[in-house]
Amino acid sequence: MTGIFRALAVDFDGTLTLDGKRPAQHVLDALARARVGGCRVLLVTGRVLTELRADWPDVDNHVDDIVAENGCVLYRDGQTRLLAPAVDSSLAPALTRRGISVRAGEALLACDGTHAVAVMEQIHELGLDAQLVHNREALMILPAGVTKGSGLFEALGDIGVSRHSTIGVGDAENDHALLDVCEVGVAVGNAVPALRRHADVVLRGEGGDGVVELIDGPIFDGRERVRSRRWEMVIGTGPTGQTVTLPTSQSNLLICGNTGQGKSYAAGLLAERLIALGYCVLVVDPEGDHGELGRLRGTITIDAADGLPPASRIAAMFRQRFTSVVLDMSCLDPSERRAYLDSLAVEVSRQRRDVGLPHWVILDEAHIGEPESLVSGYVDAGGHHRGQILVTYRPYDLPPEVLERLDGIIALAGDGPLPDQVVEIAQRVSGLAEPVIRHLAGGLSEHDALVAVRPEIGTSSVVTLATRTTPQVRHAHKYGATQVRSDRRFYFRDREDKVTDVAGSMDDLRSVLARVSDSVLVHHAAGSDLSRWVSTVFQDRALGGVISEAEQSLNDGRISASEARTRVLAGVERRYPV
Asked whether the predicted pLDDT for residue 477 surpasses 80, the reply is: no
Average pLDDT over residues 107-118: 93
> What CATH number is attached to the domain comprising 120?
3.90.1070
- Tell me how far CA of residue 266 lies from CA of 113, 231, 260, 288, 301, in angstroms: 51, 19, 12, 15, 18
> What CATH number is attached to the domain comprising 382?
3.40.50.300
In a domain, 300, yes or no: yes
Average pLDDT over residues 92-113: 93
Which of 205, 228, 251 terminates a domain? The answer is: 228
Is 240 in the same domain as 212?
no
In a domain, 461, yes or no: yes
CA proximity to 315, closest of 278, 344, 285: 344
Average pLDDT over residues 429-448: 87
Dihedral, 133, 28, 48, 20 alpha carbons, nearest 10: 70
Is 105 in the same domain as 130?
yes
Average pLDDT over residues 307-333: 88
Q: Confirm whether pTM is higher than 0.85.
A: no
In a domain, 470, yes or no: no
Is 23 in the same domain as 109?
no
pLDDT of residue 382: 43
Q: Percent of the chain scored above 90 by pLDDT? A: 67
Is 319 in the same domain as 361?
yes
- Could you report the per-residue pLDDT of 176-192, keeping only the tens digit for each? 999 999 999 999 999 99
Cα(557)–Cα(569) distance, rounded to whole angstroms? 19
CA proximity to 253, closest of 365, 386, 134: 386
Asked whether the predicted pLDDT for residue 104 surpasses 50, the reply is: yes
- Could you report the per-residue pLDDT of 488-532, keeping only the tens digit for each? 899 999 989 999 999 998 899 999 999 999 999 999 999 999 999
Is 255 in the same domain as 340?
yes
Instruction: Name the residue type at position 63.
Output: V
Asked whether the predicted pLDDT for residue 106 surpasses 70, the reply is: yes
Mean of the per-residue pLDDT values of the chain: 89
> What CATH number is attached to the domain comprising 165?
3.40.50.1000
Which of 197, 213, 228 terminates a domain? The answer is: 228
pLDDT of residue 474: 59
Cα(248)–Cα(389) distance, rounded to whole angstroms? 11
Is 347 in the same domain as 412?
yes
Is 154 in the same domain as 15?
yes
In a domain, 303, yes or no: yes
Is 253 in the same domain as 350?
yes
Task: Report the first-to-last Cα separation within the chain, whole angstroms.
Answer: 45
Q: Which range marks the domain in which residue 221 is found?
A: 1-79+147-228
Average pLDDT over residues 104-117: 93
* Cβ atoms of residues 353 and 38 within 8 Å: no
In a domain, 402, yes or no: yes
3-state secondary structure 143-210: ECCCCHHHHHHHHHHHHCCCHHHEEEEECCHHHHHHHHHCCEEEECCCCCHHHHHHCCEECCCCHHHH
Is 483 in the same domain as 498?
yes
Is 396 in the same domain as 344?
yes
Asked whether the predicted pLDDT for residue 454 surpasses 90, the reply is: yes
Crossing angle between the packed helical segments 561-575 and 506-515, to the nearest 10 degrees = 160
pLDDT of residue 207: 97
Per-residue pLDDT band at 381 (split at 50, 70, 90): very low
- The total number of structural domains in the chain stands at 4
Which of 208, 228, 248 terminates a domain? The answer is: 228
In a domain, 473, yes or no: no
In a domain, 471, yes or no: no
Cα(40)–Cα(76) distance, rounded to whole angstroms? 12
Average pLDDT over residues 79-104: 94
| Contacts for 306 with CB less than 8 Å, ≥ 6 apart | none
- Could you report the per-residue pLDDT of 486-498, keeping only the tens digit for each? 888 999 999 899 9
Cα(254)–Cα(362) distance, rounded to whole angstroms? 10
Is 444 in the same domain as 497?
no
Residue 555 belongs to what H/E stretch? helix 541-555
pLDDT of residue 151: 97
Q: What is the DSSP string of 398-418?
A: S-HHHHHT-SEEEE--TTSPP
In a domain, 243, yes or no: yes
Asked whether the predicted pLDDT for residue 473 surpasses 80, the reply is: no
Crossing angle between the packed helical segments 518-526 and 529-537, to the nearest 10 degrees = 70
Is 55 in the same domain as 135?
no
pLDDT of residue 6: 92
